[in-house]
Chain A
Amino acid sequence: MKSLSHTIVSLFATFLFCASAAATAGAQAMGAKTLGASEILTRVDANQLYSTIYYEGKMEIVSGARTKVKTMRAWAAGSKKAFIEFTNPEDRGVRMLKLDKNLWMYFPSERDTVKISGALLRQGMMGSDFSYEDAMEPDDLKALYDAEVVGNEAIDGRECFVLSLVAKGRDVAYAKRKIWIDAERFIVARSELYARSGMLLKVSRTLDYAKLGSRYFPSVVEFSDALKKESRTVMSMTSLKLDAPVDEARFSLQALTK
């Protein structure tokens, strides 16, 4: 009765956005090689700014040779408000609402609204490699983590800064992160999420981008749970609209049950 983080910024919308956060000006790469971790994150954060987002998404959950496909429509305002409605036949009408640290799901067949909480937050969201807890993770990496540049590496032929992030406190889902940021576009090309013990928990990769105006926006992101063998979730976005007006009432219990 009802399972992305800095990357998932408003659930999937947010995830895609953060996992490979959009860069407004590739030209900003000039002089980037001399930037410190804080400046790099500031540029990444600046690229991520949008007031609202709407997209139609396809989530492919892959396990071995099997693939399960879920489709959805999603709206988000900033990183704290998001609304998703699933449209594939099996889950049609299932809706999710994120308001800051609270997450609700609506199941139309039971007409039931469930607040996802506590232990259930660690559950895979809709059978994917994203957890509800991932979705609840705040997106302000600079505020939550101490960051340092630990090197440069190429990801898919593109030069990236490699940053190591260590949580300042305990109130985060992942104690450590390692992120690869495209040195030209200032987007997160790859991200590894670690437990306090140092165990690798999850990995995200940006597989494709859409160029919207001067902005590069990730359109296909792969997320995998390192604890599951041969398991990954690929999220693709189409019909992207940024900064289009979204009724504030979209982000309410009223919209969830409408």
Chain B
Amino acid sequence: MRGAAILFVALAALAATPGAEAQAAEDSSDANLAGEAKISGQVQQTASVATALSGGTSFTGGAATSLSLALDARGATASLRASLHFSVLYGNEAAALWATLAASPSAGSSLLMAPAFDAAAAAPECLALLALDELALTWDIGPFAFEAGKTIANWGVGKAFSPADFFVEFDYSSGTPSRRSGLLARATWFAGATSRVDLVYAPYAASANALAGGAGSSAGSSGAVPSATPTSAIVAARAYATAFDTLAFALAAGFRGAAGSSPASLLGALEATFDLPFVSPYGEASIAAALDGSKAIAYSLLGGGQARIGDASLLAEYLYSPQAAAAHSVFAQAGLPIDEWISISAPLLYYPESGALTVAATLAASDIAGLSFAVTASASRSSAQTWSGKLALSARTSF
């Protein structure tokens, strides 16, 4: 219901935005961008088979049908982005979503779900859900921009972990990490063409992120580091700039409210990316200091890099968060395009202390007869050292 209310307010505000035609007349080449709305979408069908690999095999099947719709509406000074998806999941696909929700209740962005999620109940054989992925209204006034809704702050430079992004919660369930959207309000001052200052307020941020960079928030269906994360309000500012054509950096500071047994804290972070000829190293560092002095200052360090060898691209990240549930976290990904249509990628997510591991290989073919296909084989080892495997085939079309 909260999502529906936000959508109504956002549409009303966009409709009321003045000045689109006037500005278009001043800038003829920009006319095509003023006052337009587009709806795009995707239909995806996935079928999968999963099995335990430890102590014998026991195969289960699953399928998922998903329709995703996105609206991108722009006026001269305001824009609205909204995206949602409707999915019907069967068998192990339903079970995987159920497990994700059990591990991270904040992952539930669904407007409607049938049956309703119940952590105490076993996963249903079939479930349907309508989920709001993004709903954000943006106003641009000169060098300032204001945004509110369900969206992504996208601070930090990490791809799988990001301690400098106080608001992030990663979703590792697909094998390739992605950021989950959350409710937030943002004011941005574009101080220059390549610099910006953000002030973000998130009333329901997953509080673990500020300490652990999101590493412990959810490992999706792999069961690597499941933990429920209480939410708290976070307000923080971040300044981003570039220097010498080779360095992009940002500084952030903020305040996180108390959550559960965790006291209110002051937050600080630094992030940097270096542009070197053959490798692009990057790093983040963050601290959280309890205001009541009841806890030692928590810190997280992230180091990573991207490199290219021939046609292959490589990415590796290591997160050290001594106060988090997982002190050490590793993510690596290799990608190799066979040609413009077919590519192979192989992500790996590893928590050394628990031994939890997820490794996958995906063969993807895009834009063939209007369809994109992917075959993914993955293997996971839980913290209980039991192995499981999954083979998934998906087909997708965009419109």
Contacts and interface: CB of A to CB of B under 8 A. Distances in A.
Contact of B306 (A110, A120, A247): A120
Nearest to B32: A73
A156 to B, nearest CB: 27
B367 A117 contact: no
Assign chain B's interface to a size class. 35 or more
Nearest to A112: B154
B244 to A, nearest CB: 10
A117 B306 CA distance: 10
23 contacts: A68-B340, A68-B341, A68-B367, A73-B32, A90-B398, A101-B245, A102-B194, A108-B72, A109-B83, A111-B152, A112-B179, A115-B248, A115-B275, A119-B278, A119-B313, A124-B340, A231-B340, A246-B27, A247-B27, A250-B30, A252-B192, A254-B196, A258-B79
Given A68-B367, A102-B194, A253-B193, A118 B40 contact: no
Interface stretch (B138-146, B200-208, B212-220, B321-329): B138-146
B151 to A, nearest CB: 6
B355 to A, nearest CB: 29
B313 A258 contact: no
Interface string B238-282: 000010011010000000000000000000000001111111100
Nearest to B341: A66
A119 B279 contact: yes
A99 B194 CA distance: 9
A42 interface: no
Contacts of B367: 68, 90
B339 interface: yes
Contact of A119 (B33, B151, B308): B308
A93 interface: yes
A157 interface: no
B193 A251 contact: yes
A61 B337 CA distance: 14
Contacts of A99: 193-194
Contact of B145 (A124, A241, A254): A254
Contacts of A54: 29
A123 interface: yes
A99 B192 CA distance: 12
> Looking at B280, B307, B368, which has the most chain A CB atoms within 10 Å of its CB?
B280
Assign chain A's interface to a size class. 35 or more
Contacts of B33: 73
B154 A111 contact: yes
Given A90-B367, A93-B72, A117-B280, A254 B143 contact: yes
Interface string A57-73: 00001010010100001
B245 A258 contact: no
Contacts of A38: none
Contact of A90 (B38, B190, B278, B366): B366
B190 A254 contact: yes
Interface of B: 26-30, 32-33, 38, 40, 72, 74, 79, 81, 83, 134, 138, 140, 143, 145, 151-152, 154, 159, 178-179, 188, 190, 192-196, 242, 245-246, 248, 273-280, 306-308, 313, 337, 339-341, 366-368, 372, 398-399
B173 to A, nearest CB: 16
Contacts of B340: 61, 63, 66, 68, 124, 127-128, 231
Nearest to A52: B29
B29 A241 contact: yes
A2 to B, nearest CB: 11
A143 B396 CA distance: 49
A212 interface: no
B33 to A, nearest CB: 8
Contact of B194 (A73, A250, A253): A253
A231 B29 CA distance: 33
B146 to A, nearest CB: 12
Given A89-B399, A252-B190, A254-B140, A118 B154 contact: no
A164 interface: no
A246 B308 CA distance: 36
Contacts of B245: 100-102
Contact of B151 (A111, A127, A128, A244): A111
A247 B195 CA distance: 18
Contacts of B27: 245-247
Contacts of B399: 89
B209 to A, nearest CB: 17
Contact of A117 (B195, B275, B372): B275
A124 B337 CA distance: 10
Contacts of B366: 68, 90
Contacts of A152: none
B241 to A, nearest CB: 10
A119 B307 contact: yes
A122 interface: yes
A234 B154 CA distance: 35
Contacts of B151: 111
B235 to A, nearest CB: 20
Given A54-B29, A63-B339, A117-B273, 5 more contacts: A90-B366, A108-B72, A119-B280, A128-B340, A252-B192
Interface in A62-114: 63, 66, 68, 73, 75, 89-90, 92-93, 99-102, 108-113
Nearest to A66: B341
A254 B147 CA distance: 12
Interface in A1-56: 1, 52, 54
Nearest to B147: A257
A118 B29 contact: no
> Looking at B29, B33, B194, B278, which has the most chain A CB atoms within 10 Å of its CB?
B29
